[in-house]
A and B are shown apart, each in its own frame.
Chain A
Amino acid sequence: MKIDVKGRFTFPGGTHPPESKDLTRESKIQPGPAAGQVAVMLSQHTGAVCRALVRKGNMVQAGQKIGDTDAFVSAPVHSPINGKVKEIALQSHAVLGRSPAIIIEAYAHNPTRRPRSTEFAADFDESSFSSEQICEAVRQAGIVGMGGAGFPTRVKIEPNPRLPKETMIINGCECEPYITCDYRIMLEWTSQIIAGIKLARKACGCSQVFIGIEDNKPQAIEVMNAALEKSSNSDDIRVVPVKTKYPQGGERQLIKAILKKDVPTGGIPPMIGVLVLNVATVAAIAKAVVYDSPLTHRVVTVTGEAIANPGNYYVAIGTQVSELIEFCGGVTQKSAKVVLGGPMMGIAIADLKTPITKTTGAVTVLTKEQIGKAKFARRQTACIRCGRCLEVCPEHLNPTKIAHAVKNNLLDVAESYYISGCMECGCCSYVCPANIELTGYIRTGKIFLAKQKKKMPE
């Protein structure tokens, strides 16, 4: 059967940054560095921060739960290695600034964790697991959304009688430039992903499943289709090629492209009966449920023009960025910016001791030249109201009005232009001819608003 891989589905707005995925597209997932020391963040997700379950000097084993909380919206953390707790201290966190982490020194003998893909039968049968069993295993394994937001997966897949879910969308778009970890997972861990999809489907009770993949990954689309054909009980799972356009991988944009529905502004997908999971997350679900194995490693794309050996690595969560860069042969050219994530939404870090977390899909090292080319190195000029930011905004907002309202400290005006609807994809900053960092202003405005609305302690 000839498979149509041309994506016809898309969303209004968006832009086309250079893909730059060739650096690591063909690089197989390899084992990452044998970490001598890891720093496991106690907060790697949206929700309550974990409480440490171990103390300084305790021995821990790979896979042992070392942090947990009773809060509903949270996920426990586990040690990726055998070792000894060196201390519990503050570490640089990409988003939270300084945040507590459990620092574990490895024993001399620590087996390298190899990514295995043959553990799952092509024709996986999920009937031996109950919905509750799956949800509990996902919770215990500490699985969170691995696409970036890090929302605890258990909360997402658990059936909620108030917001029943009918459709599950598996996000394999990977629209960020440079990153290829999800693409490699789809190619190499195909049966694991399918097993994960079946388990998640059973847990949430969705009656239809779509796998959205951008059409710049024809191989992934073919491989997934072929695997689905071989698999039984998968008639309701469909691969949907979507148009290659940034930010197609945003969940609201993916829902719009596939289902032609809009998630309410400020709302969440379950409000329209949809659940979106990343391919890496469903792969982790399969492992957690079937092998009882917690989320302690993830695939990270180490990339950028300045890295000596760019590639996709199966890295222990808690590994320092500097160690990972070192492992990839260090940097070759004058590097100027280390970004956790891709260049459109990633976070530039100043401290290379920052550990990899569950949501870090990539480490992108950009060269000085690239930074110089990026217009933000140059002077911002006045807005000429050309309207390009309005044309590309996938959320149909008015970025220039919001940004200028924030600039002039008019937060009420920013709100009247629906600042909360912004998901900070960066399209407006990317296209702006006047070099205005619209996304930055909008993000600042959101922080100000959050501070303003914070209730005073009584």
Chain B
Amino acid sequence: MLTDLRVSCAPHISKPLSTRSVMIDVIIGLVPAMAAAGYYFRIYALILIPICCLSAVATEWLCNKIRKKPDSLGDFSAVVTGIILALSVPPSLPIWAAIIGSVFSIAIGKMVFGGLGSNIFNPAMVGRAFLTACFGMLMTTWTVPATIAPTMPRIAADNTIHARTQATPLAWSKQAIKDKTGAKVVNEQFEAAFTGEIGGCLGETSTLALLIGSLYLLIRRNINWRIPFAVLASAFVCGAIGYLTNDAAYISPLTHLTSGGILLCAFFIATDPVTAPLTRKGMWIFGIGVGTITMLIRIVGEYPEGVMYAVLLMNAVTPLIDRLCKRIPAGGKPSA
């Protein structure tokens, strides 16, 4: 009866939690955003999301085979990367471009560093940066949602069914900054930006869906509230400064928060545990950095949107932040 005893280090019980369950929670958190994408952009979403996921998963499988490493698809992190990449590209992106982006995300963004846990940069953002650099035109062509067309001005008066494009609120606000007028028109789009009935990346348009998904992640304690709070609060402050100086040229901070990728970034991209700092102090610095750089690019910089560069820049300094913000033990530093 009492033979074959096992010995191991304490503790002998563990919480039912795995990398896979953590990733599945993130996928569940992304479901509302995917659903909103499916509702507003129909066939684009139905094609892009599965394509990105599949090519991401296939790339990871192939990389593991080439590196002769054990299979790591079970942790579902490639699926998460695929979904986030799909949600952060324009709906009209051609399939071949989406595949290139996904392959680059996984192969160069993650696997060359040694796989999950070792990557410095957020893989999805690496892929998106690559796409932006290579296919700038495709990455800035915005399709109108399939539901009703809002009142945003069109870029091109193209009346074919599939290729109706329009300016995003942020592109328009960039124009407003140049013209020193017209910010009010953008602010009026607030309601459309909240529901998602507006031009933009596949998954970033619907504020409501993103909030629902992030609420789930916060309740499940899957993400630490400090990073999203720091991102959004610092972005709000930067936006408010611009708005208060000249409300004709600069759009309101709330419009800033509801448009572009800042919500997707705050809750799903900046909170990627691998590329964010470990300590609480570090999280605050990281979050404020992402929010501030995003807003600097939006208001002062040349691009209408800056989330991707903000995240990549802060990813790069994450190891430094971790080193600077060491935890002090509860009993203080040992006197030795």
Closest to B322 in A: A401
* Complex CA–CA separation, A221 to B186 (angstroms): 63
A386 on interface, CB distance cutoff 8 Å: yes
Q: Is the CB of A382 within 8 A of B116?
A: yes
Query: From residue B79, how far is it (CB to closest CB) to chain A in Å?
Result: 15
Residues from chain B with Cβ under 8 Å of A301 in the complex: none
CA distance A387 to B72 in the complex (A): 21
Name the one of A267, A336, A424, A430 contacting B331, with C-beta atoms under 8 angstroms: A267
Whether B274 pairs with A384 at a CB distance below 8 angstroms is yes
Contact in complex: A434, B335 (CB < 8 Å): no
Q: A417 in the interface, Cβ–Cβ < 8 Å? A: yes
Residues of chain A contacted by B2 (CB below 8 angstroms): 322, 325, 331, 335, 338, 352
Does residue A316 face the partner (Cβ distance < 8 Å to B)?
Answer: no
User: Given A349-B7, A390-B279, A398-B326, are A266 and B117 neighbors across the interface (CB < 8 Å)?
Assistant: no
B66 CB to closest chain A CB (Å) equals: 18
Q: Are B18 and A435 in contact (CB under 8 A)?
A: yes
Give 1 or 0 for each of B63-92: 1 = CB within 8 Å of chain A CB: 000000010100101000000000000000
Interface centre among B12, B14, B278, B326 (most CB of A within 10 A): B12
Q: Which of B1-24 contact A (CB under 8 A)?
A: 1-2, 4-19, 21-22
Q: Is B118's beta carbon under 8 Å from chain A?
A: yes
Evaluate whether A262 and B10 lie within 8 angstroms (CB atoms) in the complex, with A325-B2, A398-B278, A398-B279 already known. no
Q: A385 interface residue, CB < 8 Å from B?
A: yes
CA distance A381 to B115 in the complex (A): 11
Which residues of chain A in 294-342 are interfacial with respect to chain B, using CB atoms and an 8 Å cutoff? 322, 325, 330-331, 335-339, 341
A418 and B334 contact, Cβ closer than 8 Å, known pairs A336-B5, A343-B11, A439-B11: yes
Question: Shortest CB–CB separation between residue B173 and chain A, in angstroms?
Answer: 35
- Nearest CB of chain A from residue B47's CB, rounded to whole Å: 30
| Distance (whole angstroms) from the CB of A116 to the closest CB of chain B | 33
Q: Which residues of A contact B219 (CB under 8 A)?
A: none
Stretch binding the partner chain, chosen from A199-207, A234-242, A369-377: A369-377
Contact A338 B330 (CB under 8 A): no
* Smallest CB gap from B280: residue in A: A390
Interface residues of A in 177-191 (CB under 8 A from B): 177
A386 to chain B: which residues have CB within 8 Å? 22, 273
Chain A residues, CB < 8 A from B6: 336-337, 348, 371
Contacts A15-B15, A384-B274, A418-B329; is A264 near B8 (CB within 8 Å)? Answer: no
Report A114-150 CB contacts with B as 1/0, cut-off 8 Å. 0000000000000000000000000000000000000
Q: Say whether A17 faces chain B, with CB atoms less than 8 Å apart.
A: yes
Asked whether, in the complex, the Cβ of A264 is within 8 Å of the Cβ of B326, the reply is no
Q: Which residues of A contact B336 (CB under 8 A)?
A: 266
B162 close to A (CB within 8 Å): no
Query: How many B residues, CB 8 Å from partner?
Result: 46
Are A384 and B326 in contact, with the CB atoms below 8 A?
A: no
Let me know if B157 is at the binding interface, CB within 8 A: no
Q: Are B13 and A395 in contact (CB under 8 A)?
A: no
Closest to A388 in B: B17
**A394 partner, pick from B10, B114, B330, beta carbons under 8 A:** B330
A contact residues around B327 at 8 Å (CB):
390, 396-398, 417
Q: A431 to chain B: which residues have CB within 8 Å?
A: 14-15, 17
CB contact under 8 A between A430 and B1, given known A266-B334, A397-B329, A417-B326: no
Interface mask (B311-336 → A, CB under 8 Å = 1, otherwise 0)? 00000000000000011111111111
Q: Tell me whether A426 is interfacial, beta carbon within 8 Å.
A: yes
Say yes or no: is A193 at the interface (Cβ < 8 Å to chain B).
Answer: no
With contact pairs A263-B331, A390-B279, A418-B329 given, residues A384 and B273 touching in the complex (Cβ less than 8 Å): yes
Quick check: is B147 within 8 A (CB to CB) of the other chain?
no
A349 to chain B, nearest CB (A): 7
Contact of B151 with A by CB under 8 A? no
Q: How far is the CA of A339 from the CA of B21 in the complex (A)?
A: 29
Decide if A112 is an interface residue (CB 8 Å cutoff). Answer: no
A347 on the B face (CB < 8 A): yes
What is the chain B residue whose CB lies nearest that of A398? B327
A264 B332 Cβ-Cβ under 8 A: yes
Q: Chain B residue with minimal CB distance to A253?
A: B330
**Contact between A421 and B4, CB atoms less than 8 A apart:** no
In contact, B13 and A381 (Cβ under 8 angstroms):
no
How many angstroms from the CA of A371 to the CA of B115 in the assembled complex? Answer: 29
Q: Is the CB of B12 within 8 A of A264?
A: no
Residue of A nearest to B13 (CB): A343
Digitize B114-157: 1 where CB-to-A-CB distance is under 8 Å, 0 elsewhere. Answer: 11111000000000000000000000000000000000000000
Q: Across the interface, which residues of B come within 8 angstroms of A357, CB to CB?
A: none
Closest 4 CB pairs of A and B: A382-B117, A426-B11, A440-B9, A265-B331
Q: List, sorted by A's number, 26 A–B pairs whose CB atoms are closer than 8 Å.
A: A15-B15, A17-B11, A264-B332, A267-B331, A322-B2, A337-B7, A338-B2, A339-B12, A343-B11, A346-B10, A348-B10, A350-B7, A366-B13, A370-B13, A373-B16, A375-B14, A376-B12, A381-B72, A384-B116, A384-B273, A396-B327, A396-B330, A398-B326, A401-B278, A418-B334, A430-B15
B residues whose Cβ falls under 8 Å from a Cβ of A: 1-2, 4-19, 21-22, 70, 72, 75, 77, 114-118, 224, 273-274, 276, 278-279, 326-336
**Given known contacts A343-B11, A398-B326, what 16 new A-B pairs fall within 8 Å (CB)?**
A12-B330, A18-B13, A262-B331, A264-B331, A266-B334, A345-B10, A348-B7, A364-B12, A366-B13, A381-B72, A381-B116, A416-B326, A430-B14, A433-B22, A439-B11, A440-B8
